[in-house]
Structure 1
């Protein structure tokens, strides 16, 4: 199951308990990496030993008042709002502010993961997450879980849909 691959930093001596417990409870084979804060996607990828596209960002999207969802987006991609609206059959979506995101997930922005969230919001995953090893936040800054993307999608009961596009760098 979960193993820790690096020594603890001062403020990273634990994985957020809800995320770790959820990963364990799902029976997922994962590896925890602690690397401290990073300034870019490339730095995060190097610290985690993966490619930038293997880092999965968990974005919280608001459909309506008190109706949110998680969107799993590979690091080299971004949400395509027209595709996401179409997939959800809605005309409006928004990103909540940081305080709202924390209130509805239990995690602060930059640490959000559907694993162990205080609410089990629906999850939509980009199809590029399938069939590869990915690194997803584990509930604290600079802490990530590396695991099989397909297994993560299955454990989360995620809907797989083409809702992203290549990032324009």
Structure 2
């Protein structure tokens, strides 16, 4: 029966994700997994180190627009580095409801692929040269993709934007 599940998703996010993947010609493997309560638990379920799970963070720019910051799971966003790269003095993480509104994805499922708005993407340089896992637009799913193919397909700016977690 169609409709929203308890966590607010109805498959539309995953469908948007898959449609965008296909449109970009990316090769992505989506796996279903039990819902994880933390990044460490998700890494354990997937059998990969936390560094191989890339967090897609929605960041609010001081001008009111947004961007995606892709950061490995074992690292954290470096606000000074990202502000310097963008030439601004203020950036912030929006509340969960705003992130949902501007991407169409709930926290824990966010990905630039299939976002309702194609915000600019900034990827931490440490994700390159390997296969990574990331959100696939719905709870209980993870996507595996070559990071270099992903950053190229998203026309991402690849730079040092993180610090060790």
Shift of 1:40: 2.2
Deviations 1:88-135 (A, max 9, x none): 100011111111111100111111100000000000000011100000
The count of aligned residue pairs is 158
Runs of 4+ in 1 over 6 A off after TM superposition: none
- Could you list the runs of 5+ residues in structure 1 that have no partner in the other structure? 1-10
CA contact (8 A) 2:130 2:147 kept: yes
Deviations 1:22-48 (A, max 9, x none): 112111111111112112222211222
CA contact (8 A) 2:62 2:88 kept: no
CA distance in 1, matches of 2:105, 2:64: 16
Alignment of 1:74-153 (within 5 A): 74-153=72-151
Deviations 1:41-81 (A, max 9, x none): 22211222322100000000001353000000000000011
TM normalised by structure 2 equals 0.90
1:7 maps to none
Find out whether 1:23 has 2:21 as its counterpart: yes
2:61 maps to 63
1:155 maps to 153
CA distance in 2, matches of 1:62, 1:47: 31
User: 3-state SS of the aligned residue for 2:82?
Assistant: helix
2:30 maps to 32
| RMSD (Å), alpha carbons | 1.8
CA distance in 2, matches of 1:131, 1:79: 19
User: 3-state SS of the aligned residue for 1:85?
Assistant: helix
1:6 maps to none
Shift of 1:13: 9.3
CA distance in 1, matches of 2:31, 2:20: 17
TM normalised by structure 1 equals 0.88
CA contact (8 A) 2:111 2:137 kept: yes
- Could you list the runs of 5+ residues in structure 2 that have no partner in the other structure? 1-6
